[in-house]
Chain A
């Protein structure tokens, strides 16, 4: 953004994004809850501080690039884009509706401001790497950076590690990757389904600069991105430890909320389905800009 917000302002944006997500998903009647809520702080930090972009001029030639690899979490990106002014907030409730620009998974050509089409997992890192390679070696442009966000479950895909190897070989200093490390995927926890640890060690061995942060700490997210930009001879991956469903207590940590929108079904330990969205929104409004959380120990 041309005008970057303060940390408390970004925190408020993150919670506005969370409210948008609940409203959108309830209206759509399908979609993913946990991942988008957990990524709200990251996306707010990107769209209101880290990315050098112009919402009124989506194809601005000097912009930073943001590739969303885990396309199923796109409601959080749509909400951040709307909050940033890429399109009217009223359009958010058209998510997943016939004729909407807000497709269930992001389609680049439908909505100005999207940089890629994704959904099938594992391909965003390589696309970002291709862009970063072009900036660094072919066009030799210094002032632009390429960001990509991946889910942790997505790291099961082989394409990710092909991209990681490629970025490591070519020392893609313009590439800054985020991993939403929320420990869940559809069939259970990541460590049950297909263990990822030692995750830091894996990326380091591929030649990456690795930073681990609390993915709900706006200041940490912004600092890590800044470190990534300063790292000119290596790609950077920021493992952002997040809590799936963050901000809505009955969704937090529960993998059953991965692919379920509020209001669709009763889930033990959560309010009755008719009350889920209302209670979630009430909960988010009481947060008043700050997210109180236990953090991840980072």
Chain B
């Protein structure tokens, strides 16, 4: 099945919305669908878009104040009482500050608490390095049982929120503050644990998570003009990875690009490199934040300073492809 992309993509009519807005709508819908869903917030209700849920279900909304350790441990107790708690704050604080509580009282204790990290990545913009959480993917994906989802746009964030409400597992969802381009449609598929081929191509496989998928779509468009036919794979679920789709896709291209607006160490690209080194070793080039912190500025400025715009990546990918041999197809076919 071809993944339906928004037809206005790359046109003047392209739509923008922050993924946190999609989360807010999804949480309200999840609350309508299941009365076990409760929401806890650490003094950032509107900022994390939980106010929609709060207005609809005041009895099931709990304000815990600026106390992220308490946020997840109270949620753990509520999960023990049969609830499906969504906890929200900025990702820098949750899971930034309360990682051990998440590890012990959520994952080891195996409770379906949902950690919602808003304002993750450099799209947090003007708030600066303290609030631009870049380490959350690494922190969350090392935890056994934790599901890690980075929606690509606001429409997908809404679907992802509804899906993790019903998955019965500890889960982390990564959101952005600023508006990002919409590339999917209401009818585009989303399932936890699935990756999607957005554009087919056989020269190089571009794998993105979160809002970087848009940048890779842009890069692929530019590369096509230069004669490089790139496949673009959107990987909203970083854990568990959709190994089948990913391996299938990279076999064709024989070389892989990953992109994330997060630390390069231990993040999404690392997860892909780990998978490929185990199952199908081939050249991988990872784009991400290279062991540095962010800074204040317009998201586009920061993105540019780190080399993560679609235009910059297209140039770098072209140069890389020119010097990087493709993985042998014959070996790939025997690696099932």
Contacts and interface: CB of A to CB of B under 8 A. Distances in A.
A165 B65 contact: yes
A107 B111 CA distance: 12
B67 A117 contact: no
B275 interface: no
Contacts of B83: 134, 138
A129 B110 contact: no
Nearest to A105: B104
Contact of A126 (B38, B69, B82, B85): B69
A116 B75 CA distance: 13
Main secondary structure on chain A at its contact with chain B?
helix
Contacts of A67: 77
Contacts of A107: 108-109
B76 interface: yes
Contacts of A115: 80
B65 A166 contact: yes
B74 interface: yes
A163 B74 contact: yes
Interface size class of B (residues with CB under 8 A): 20 to 34
Which residue among B60, B70, B77, B110 has the maximum number of chain A CB atoms within 10 Å of its CB?
A: B77
B77 to A, nearest CB: 3
A130 B76 CA distance: 7
A134 to B, nearest CB: 4
A159 to B, nearest CB: 4
B332 interface: no
B110 A108 contact: yes
A77 interface: no
A57 B4 CA distance: 51
B81 A134 contact: yes
A118 interface: yes
A128 to B, nearest CB: 6
Interface string A153-177: 0000011001101100100000000
A107 to B, nearest CB: 7
Interface in B61-112: 62, 64-65, 67, 69-70, 73-83, 85, 100-101, 104-105, 108-110
Given A108-B110, A120-B100, A129-B74, A162 B69 contact: yes
A132 B77 CA distance: 8
A131 B77 contact: yes
A116 B109 CA distance: 7
Nearest to B62: A133
A224 B116 CA distance: 40
Interface string A98-125: 0000000001110000011111101100
A127 interface: yes
B105 A116 contact: yes
B110 A130 contact: no
A169 to B, nearest CB: 8
A127 B59 contact: no
Contacts of B64: 162, 166
Nearest to B100: A120
A77 B85 CA distance: 28
A159 B85 CA distance: 19
Given A115-B80, A134-B83, A138-B38, A127 B70 contact: no
Nearest first, the 10 A-B pairs at minimum CB distance are A130-B77, A126-B73, A162-B70, A127-B77, A130-B74, A117-B109, A162-B67, A134-B81, A131-B77, A130-B78
Interface of A: 65, 67, 107-109, 115-120, 122-123, 126-135, 137-139, 158-159, 162-163, 165-166, 169
26 contacts: A107-B109, A108-B110, A109-B109, A109-B110, A116-B109, A123-B69, A123-B105, A126-B69, A126-B73, A129-B74, A130-B76, A130-B81, A131-B77, A133-B77, A134-B38, A135-B81, A138-B59, A159-B69, A159-B70, A159-B73, A162-B64, A163-B73, A165-B65, A165-B67, A166-B64, A166-B74
